[in-house]
Structure 1
Amino acid sequence: MTTTGMKRAAAAVVAVAAFAGASPAMALTATTSGVYITTKGHPKKLKVKDTRPDGNVVKGQYYRKATPHDQRTKWNKRGPGKSTWTKSGSKIVKIKACKYVNWGPDVCSGWKK
Structure 2
Amino acid sequence: MGKPSFEYKPPKVQTGSLRTPVSFYRYKPHSGPEPGEEEKEILHICYAEIYNPSMKDREILNSIETTNAVTINIRDTKGEYSPTNKHYVEIDDYRYKNVRWDVLDVRNDFENNAFITVLLGVVHDD
TM over 0.5: no
Structure that is richer in helix per residue: 1
Higher gyration radius (CA)? 1
- TM-score by structure 1 length? 0.31
Structure that is richer in strand per residue: 2
- TM-score by structure 2 length? 0.29
